[in-house]
Amino acid sequence: MLKSNLEIIQSTYEGSASSNAKHLAEALSEKIEWTEAKGFPYGGRI
């Protein structure tokens, strides 16, 4: 069964801070491009 958008977002915030990244990575495409705004500590395209 597919998760709803709300369930996907909620899962990225569940559990400890260390598991949040795991849940977020599971929800994202392997082809994602992440761009941080200029001025942020890790600004740029990842």
The whole-angstrom separation of Cα 42 and Cα 35 is: 9
In the chain, helix, strand, coil percent, each to 5? 45, 10, 50
At residue 45, the 3 state secondary structure works out as: strand
Instruction: Per residue of the chain (46 residues), give pLDDT as tens.
Output: 788 989 888 888 877 777 777 878 888 888 988 788 888 877 777 6
Alpha-carbon distance 34 to 39, whole Å? Answer: 15
Q: Give burial (CB, 10 Å; 0-12/13-18/19+) of 24.
A: middle
Domains of the chain, by residue range, sit at 5-45
Predicted pLDDT of residue 43: 72
Beta bridge partners of 45: 35
